Structure 1
Amino acid sequence: MDFDIQCEKSQVMSTLSSPSSQYLVQSILKEGSYEKLTKCVNIATRKTVYLKILNSRSALPEKEKELLILKHLRKFDPDNFNIVRCNSVFFKAEKIFIEYEMLGQTLFDFVKDRPSHCMTLNEIRPILHQVATTLQLLRRLGIVHTNLKTDNIMLVNHANQPFRIKVFDFGSALFSTSEWAEGIAPLPYRSPEMILGLPVTTAIDMWSLGCVAAELFLGTRLNPGRCEYEMLQHMVQTLGPHHMFPQKMLNDGLNTKRYFQREKSSTPRWRLKDPSEYGQTKQTGNYFKCLDNIQKLKPVCRLSEEDTRAEFQDRQDFGDLLKGMLHLDCDKRITPSQMFQHPFITINYLAKRYPNSFYVNVCCGRMEVCRHQCLSSDKRGYQSVLRYQPIPAWYTHREHPLILQIASAMNSLSMYEDQSPPQPQQLSLSTSRERTLSELQLPNAPEKASHTGTITPVRQRDTSEPPKVEKKAQQRTRSSSRHMQSYFKAPKRLQLRLQPSLPKLIVRGKGLSKKTPVKTLGLQRGRGGKITL
């Protein structure tokens, strides 16, 4: 099978053989200069998988580095650390094939399909927590993803596991070294140290995650620059005048003189060049002006005042977290372990200040996917994080007090229903079998009931005299006998009563008035004065 041919992304291709299985290629999802990402069906397992095809003849050192990083990551549980599962790797026809598990939509497609093209804070929170768990593992291993964006964060199964995500595509990953790499991150998510030409560190991924979080909330990119100079302009504008580039970072940068001008004074300082000094005539506009205005961007309006105040405080915490993730100084940028302690992630401050807020209750409920992941993690996972932070509010989340009160009332009502008398046994309609009056009474019936009548004895009369039953009574008896069996199966509690003036059995059901008979059964006096149906 020749993968060098040009084909449409929706075109179905032929099968591909591997040492252990065969793959039916359904479509090509992505296609680059040195790699292709295809959607295939593993015929051996009958599962749909991703099959990444790398051209080993070009960029061989980079691909060997990717395989080495995947080898390190396969030692850890991909479900606990939110990494795409790598099933197998094989070589054929001078190409490298990597099989990954099948995932759902990317965050980019998920947000694009929404009418608002954005997400709420209680939906962004679990995504940030899961990606921070991945970045904490990469930081410990000394690995930098360098390509963290909404296209490489994928939902696992949003229908069954809402907002459960995994990080994808480690093709551009690098080991954290003291060397500078040019153009290793997408321009909208590129950190300032990469633009200035500083060494590669794990703080690059935290900057990219901050850009992703802002994009999910705003519905548009935070820094929509067309070149690196415009990106630096948007960074200064977005973070505000109080956040300036550190002079030490500018002194160490290899590309500082390209974008900054040193001022001649007693204390020489760097300043960003004007568009005319840089040689730029047009500038890309920015929808979002400053992180300080994030509370005013979308008005907060809830049904209760407590929920409104809680969401407003939550936005303030989100803005503070964004400033920490987008700090211009890479040495002062927030780390994944510090991110777990932030009030926006823990929700401790909101839960303590607004204990009766439904908004806080919904936020804690959204973090259920992270709680399940924490409980199943190993010693190197989330349990090690708990040693350095207070336990988050959502980790020991309880339902809203009003919901608990309603649930308690419903449970009490259910217990009362369970203590009701059991269902009476079926009454036989056969005239040959005689039943006494005590057999007609419900078992375990309460002795005292205000609406239950008394049973009066029936006068004995001569057995030689045939009983006088009117024609209507006979029809009523036959009609009642046909429905007697099906009727006694429906209600749980029934009352029986004999009227002394008329030989009738009145059956009453739960929920009916005392004066409304449901069924009226005619009675006959059998041998020995016993009453039978």
Structure 2
Amino acid sequence: MKGGDCFSLFQCCLSNFSSVFPIDEILCTLGEGAFGKVVECIDHDNHGARVALKIIKNIDRYREAAMSEVEVLKRLKTLDADRRYSCVHMLDWFDYHGHVCIAFELLGLSTYDFLKENNFQPFPVKQIRHMAYQIIRAVKFLHKNKLTHTDLKPENILLIDSDYDMEYNREKRRDERTLKNPDVKIVDFGNATYDHEHHTSVVSTRHYRAPEVILDLGWDHSCDVWSIGCILIEYYLGTTLFQTHDSKEHLAMMERVLGPIPTNLLEKTKKRRYVHRNKLDWDIHSSAGRYVKKHCKPLKHYIVSRSEDHRLLFDLIEKMMEYDPSKRLSLEQHILFPLKKTNKI
């Protein structure tokens, strides 16, 4: 069964999983997307443990990505048998009537969903720095093993436990949630790419896409570093920094936040329609120009406190959001001592 018919098979598929995998109960849907669904299950053969089951649509491109993810997850499990790094662990996988199904340890909400359920109230800076330490350490582990994730975003950073304390904010007249435990894990390795593999021209979800990808200059590990910078500023603001769906407008937003794109990058780009006389071809007085000016401001203007915690976080973000990938912070070469002291909260 192919294409749009796959969901008509899901109920039958779910009810029969126990015949091929020791799962006896499907509790609820945890999430769904173009790829398929993720459901929460009970594994009674493992003392009633809860697991997350990712069920992929029986469509060639999704199956291919799922099988690639399985191979990456197998390798990561071997390399990190002690679970020292914050990458999700695969428990097992199987194929059911063309649907690739991957069983994972059960985690909490994604950091995006937690923000959404908390009315996009930013995370406290100490929790951001704690999450940053774990994300960076995990991605450094990937890069050391010649892998680029290529799709880092708040949706793909999951909380280990999304329990929270609730407090009423009298000034804003609303309840606000504070995480009890800010530990996180990285998920979704369907687009992870080894250094020796073909690098597709476009990677990353729009808002977390590095400038070299937009300019079609090629990419490497450093595109993950840019994405982490975008994630951390989103945790700090509560909302996406580059809120656009247009590539040229995206570049204009970058210039508003980070200053002019270096001439050497614009000279090399194959996207000549973005460039005029070695500068970004952008009219700041147009309606789009006014939109960018209204919705973006220089990076340091977003800081809400002069405390050392805030300053160190923004220094890190600024190094991660360096235009030139050759000058961008390299996770393999830098010791993250400013973050390490917040590893316990």
Q: What residue number does 1:200 align with? A: 219
Within the candidate set 195, 210, 217, 1:176 is matched to 195
Within the candidate set 126, 147, 150, 2:151 is matched to 147
Aligned-residue Cα RMSD (Å) equals 3.2
Check 1:152–1:116 CA distance in 2 against 1; reply closer, same or farther (3 A cut): closer
On the 8 A contact 2:256/2:298 being kept in 1, the answer is yes
2:185 maps to a residue whose letter is: K
Give distance in 2, aligned partners of 1:120 and 1:113: 16
Q: What residue number does 2:279 align with? A: 271
Q: What residue number does 1:211 align with? A: 230
Give the Å deviation of 1:189.
0.6
Give distance in 2, aligned partners of 1:163 and 1:216: 12
On the 8 A contact 1:129/1:340 being kept in 2, the answer is no
Q: What residue number does 1:36 align with? A: 37
On the 8 A contact 2:31/2:39 being kept in 1, the answer is yes
Q: What residue number does 1:250 align with? A: 266
Give distance in 2, aligned partners of 1:21 and 1:341: 42
Q: What residue number does 1:313 align with? A: 308
Q: What residue number does 1:120 align with? A: 124
1:324 maps to a residue whose letter is: K
On the 8 A contact 1:15/1:22 being kept in 2, the answer is no
Give the Å deviation of 1:271.
0.6
Structure ID, larger Rg: 1
On the 8 A contact 1:180/1:197 being kept in 2, the answer is no
User: Alpha-carbon deviations, 1:58-109, whole Å to 9, x = none?
Assistant: 1244333222211211111363111111100112212211100100121112
Within the candidate set 274, 277, 293, 1:259 is matched to 274
Give the Å deviation of 1:154.
1.0
Give distance in 1, aligned partners of 2:206 and 2:116: 20
Give distance in 1, aligned partners of 2:343 and 2:205: 29
Q: What residue number does 2:51 align with? A: 49
Check 1:65–1:5 CA distance in 2 against 1; reply closer, same or farther (3 A cut): closer
Mean CA deviation greater in 190-199 or 312-321: 312-321
1:73 maps to a residue whose letter is: L
Q: What residue number does 1:220 align with? A: 239
Higher relative contact order (CA 8 A, sep 6+): 2
TM-score by length of 2: 0.83
On the 8 A contact 1:8/1:28 being kept in 2, the answer is no
Give the Å deviation of 1:278.
11
Give the Å deviation of 1:40.
1.8
On the 8 A contact 2:52/2:104 being kept in 1, the answer is yes
Q: What residue number does 2:248 align with? A: 229
Any idea what SS the aligned residue of 1:212 has?
A: helix
Give the Å deviation of 1:254.
2.9
Give the Å deviation of 1:316.
2.3
User: Alpha-carbon deviations, 1:171-199, whole Å to 9, x = none?
Assistant: 12122358552442111111111111122
* 1:87-486 correspondence to structure 2 within 5 Å: 87-114=91-118, 117-159=121-163, 162-177=181-196, 179-241=198-260, 244-247=261-264, 249-255=265-271, 257-261=272-276, 263=277, 270-275=278-283, 283-284=291-292, 287-295=295-303, 298=304, 300=305, 312-341=307-336, 344-346=338-340, 364=341, 366-368=342-344
Give distance in 1, aligned partners of 2:82 and 2:192: 17
Mean CA deviation greater in 188-197 or 110-119: 110-119
1:148 maps to a residue whose letter is: L
Any idea what SS the aligned residue of 1:50 has?
A: strand
On the 8 A contact 1:84/1:166 being kept in 2, the answer is yes
Give distance in 2, aligned partners of 1:258 and 1:279: 19
On the 8 A contact 1:78/1:84 being kept in 2, the answer is no
Give distance in 1, aligned partners of 2:143 and 2:266: 25
TM-score by length of 1: 0.55
Check 1:183–1:286 CA distance in 2 against 1; reply closer, same or farther (3 A cut): farther
Give the Å deviation of 1:282.
7.5
Check 1:279–1:23 CA distance in 2 against 1; reply closer, same or farther (3 A cut): farther
Identity of aligned residues (%): 24
Give the Å deviation of 1:5.
2.9
Q: What residue number does 2:17 align with? A: 16
1:135 maps to a residue whose letter is: V
On the 8 A contact 2:27/2:40 being kept in 1, the answer is yes
Give the Å deviation of 1:321.
1.2
Check 1:63–1:158 CA distance in 2 against 1; reply closer, same or farther (3 A cut): closer
User: Alpha-carbon deviations, 1:216-259, whole Å to 9, x = none?
Assistant: 11111111122111110111110135xx3351x3344332x021
Mean CA deviation greater in 163-172 or 284-293: 284-293
Give distance in 2, aligned partners of 1:78 and 1:240: 43
Give the Å deviation of 1:291.
1.4
Check 1:34–1:162 CA distance in 2 against 1; reply closer, same or farther (3 A cut): closer
Give distance in 1, aligned partners of 2:220 and 2:113: 29
Give distance in 1, aligned partners of 2:287 and 2:117: 39
User: Alpha-carbon deviations, 1:2-43, whole Å to 9, x = none?
Assistant: 98235999xx96342343413422333333344322222223
1:226 maps to a residue whose letter is: H
Any idea what SS the aligned residue of 1:22 has?
A: coil
Check 1:44–1:205 CA distance in 2 against 1; reply closer, same or farther (3 A cut): same
Any idea what SS the aligned residue of 1:44 has?
A: helix
On the 8 A contact 1:126/1:367 being kept in 2, the answer is yes
Give the Å deviation of 1:332.
0.8
Q: What residue number does 1:353 align with? A: none
